[in-house]
Amino acid sequence: MDELDNIQVFLKVAELDSFSGAARQLGLPNATVSAAVRRLEQDLGVRLLQRTTRRVQMTQEGEAFYARSRALLGEFEDMRTMFRQGADSLAGRLRVDMSVGMAISVVLPRLGEFLARHPRLQVDLGTADRRVDIVREGYDCVLRAGLLADSSLVARPLGSYRMINCASPAYLARHGTPRTLDDLPLHRIVHYDAQLAGSSPGWEWFDGHATQLVPVGAVLTVNGTAAYAAACREGLGLAQIPEAGVRDQLQAGLLVEVMPDFRPAPMPVSFVYPSRRHVPARAVAFMDWVAGLLAPWLEAQAAQ
């Protein structure tokens, strides 16, 4: 292995917190992975990974080297392809993350077209219903909905999801159709709580100036977007969902929009990627492509 190979092995071990996991993903023997990291540490004169019987953890030097080497390898890959023209100009592995609903509803049905245009590109698509650590876990870009916390990451705003209120036909047959806020005490919602931390359920709606919250009961709380939509579809309560994520279910009659005059504020949508001087061309191409897919479902600007 050359030095770049050793760096790639180190990145994979660091991302997975596991030598054996990295070996499986890279298709290498465990001994080869261990030797590659050991040689890299010897060349640098520092310990990059702290090994114990239970886990592998980056040292402070390892974290600094991880961030720099991720950027370095991205730029190196771009340099190797900068003079290529045509469909094969993008190459390498692209690591991205988004909600499972957006992946299934919008991206995966069209991803074959993108890969056909870039046959030398490989995509790792994460659909974790959590805030992944973009730098620590080695993502090139992440599609996020909602307000972004201040950080050292770079955000590319795409617009805002149009939010709608939904119910299943079965729910409406049992409980009736809510039409105003005064009807809500007779209904229940599916409550979304990402941490299952005991937050109070409520109905959000935007009055043109600010978001208002009306307390509403819930018999089910979920922490995943797929389960949230599925629970609504099964008649377990009302839900407030981005229209783009359930358009097929609305067209099929599995869900019905209710209370259109009391929708939540549009939800900002952004791509987020590590702060670096040069963003890999493959990441830029993917973000541009997804932005085009989402354009019909996004409002130009979130409500203030």
Domain locations along the chain: 1-81, 84-154+273-304, 163-265
Average pLDDT for 102-129: 90
pLDDT of residue 77: 67
Least confident segment among 31-45, 106-120, 149-163, 257-271: 149-163
Average pLDDT of the chain, as a whole number: 87
For the domain covering 84-154+273-304, report its CATH number: 3.40.190.10
CB 50 within 8 A of CB 57: yes
CATH architecture of the domain with range 163-265:
3-Layer(aba) Sandwich (3.40)
**Are both 84-154+273-304 and 163-265 of the same fold?**
yes
Query: How confident is the model over 20-49, as pLDDT tens digits?
Result: 888 988 889 999 999 999 999 999 999 999
**What is d(CA 304, CA 302) in angstroms, rounded to the nearest whole number?**
6
pLDDT of residue 150: 59
pLDDT of residue 303: 41
- CATH fold, domain 1-81, is Arc Repressor Mutant, subunit A (1.10.10)
Average pLDDT for 58-68: 88
Q: Rounded to two decimals, what is the model's pTM?
A: 0.69
pLDDT at position 176 over 50: yes
Tokens describing residue 271: 């791509």
Average pLDDT for 102-115: 92
